[in-house]
Amino acid sequence: MLSSRMLHTILRNAADAGAAEILRFFQGSFEIHNKEGVNNLVTEADHAAEKAILQVIKKAYPDHQILAEESGALEQCSEYKWIIDPIDGTINFAQGIPLNCVSIAVEWKGSIILGAVYNPHLREFFFAEKGKGATLNDKPIQVSKKTTTLKSCLVTGFPYTYINENNGPIEVFERFVRKGVPVRRLGSAAIDLCWVACGRFDGFFEQKLEPWDSAAGYLIVEEAGGKVTGFRGEAFSVYQHKLIATNGLIHDEMVEVINGRKKL
């Protein structure tokens, strides 16, 4: 296994490089295009940030695998994979809303071992190393201590194209808000996960995430003492779409409510 200190340094440098591009373009003029689906945007800044991130990683580790939102997968003969979202919260970015971030995770032999989420607008750098805890700007963080969902503050997101299935995002959302549970929607899953990790939210759920959305934040939540699973409470993989992340204390109840097996 490679030196964790070296990996950490390259991860930080890559996140800084992506963040510099975010700040360079933010609230300026840039090209905006639409990907598949409604309001699924990609901007000139997304491509610039991803290019800057990849330059840092490839210079240090040219043989590593890459999975990046905009450029896709680079498969190579390596046990390491970098999972990259150059701007998580692109619509926020395009609207001039400072809730967007760089999200980068390092996977080794199928396990996420390092994760970084950096919102340069708020100057908040979240980091976690597997088995070594999570930090915000180098200070340790922990999840909240709330024990009941009814008294919790939650956060969620909605897919750009609504999934036509039972127990869909609006149906689940309604179960909480009709009981007076505050449910926020920030527009960045990576930030949502990090804000669970540092105790600002008690739980997060979403039904259509990609690996680059969740990989870094997932590790940060778990290393902050939280719990992350699929919607049925099963072990989570960053390659599945549905996710529940909580402080751990409300997790089982959240799973039951989300699956319609319990009412608040």
pLDDT in tens, 26-45: 978 777 777 665 566 778 99
CA dihedral 91, 158, 98, 57 (to 10 degrees): -80
pLDDT in tens, 33-88: 776 655 667 789 999 999 999 999 999 999 999 999 888 888 899 999 999 999 99
What's residue 36's pLDDT?
63
Report d(CA 35, CA 90) in Å as an integer. 12
Q: Is the pLDDT of residue 163 over 90?
A: no
Same domain assignment for residues 109 and 183: no
Q: Domain boundary residue among 96, 117, 140?
A: 140
In-domain check, residue 239: yes
Q: Is the pLDDT of residue 149 over 90?
A: yes
Same domain assignment for residues 133 and 11: yes
The neighbour count for residue 263, using CB atoms within 10 Å, is 9
Average pLDDT, the chain: 94
Q: Domain boundary residue among 97, 114, 140?
A: 140
Same domain assignment for residues 157 and 124: no
In-domain check, residue 224: yes
Same domain assignment for residues 123 and 29: yes
In-domain check, residue 99: yes
Report d(CA 203, CA 49) in Å as an integer. 29
Q: Is the pLDDT of residue 161 over 80?
A: no
pLDDT in tens, 95-129: 999 999 999 999 999 999 999 999 999 999 999 99
Core vs surface per residue 21-41: b (16+ CB within 10 A) or e? bbeebbeeebeeeeeeeeeeb
What's residue 42's pLDDT?
76
Same domain assignment for residues 108 and 206: no
Same domain assignment for residues 136 and 153: no
This prediction has a pTM of: 0.95
Residue numbers of the domain that contains 50: 4-140
pLDDT band for position 262 (cuts 50, 70, 90): very high
Q: What is the CATH number of the domain that holds 123?
A: 3.30.540.10
Same domain assignment for residues 24 and 69: yes
Place of tokens 């970015």: 93
DSSP-derived 3-state class of residue 82: strand
What's residue 59's pLDDT?
97
pLDDT band for position 162 (cuts 50, 70, 90): low
In-domain check, residue 263: no
Q: Domain boundary residue among 140, 174, 193?
A: 140
Q: State whether the Cα torsion 176-182-186-192 is positive or negative.
A: negative
What's residue 28's pLDDT?
82
The neighbour count for residue 162, using CB atoms within 10 Å, is 13
Same domain assignment for residues 131 and 8: yes
Tell the burial category of 142 from Cβ atoms under 10 Å away from its Cβ (0-12, 13-18, 19+). middle
Among 162-176, 183-197, 219-233, name the one with the lowest average pLDDT. Answer: 162-176
In-domain check, residue 254: yes
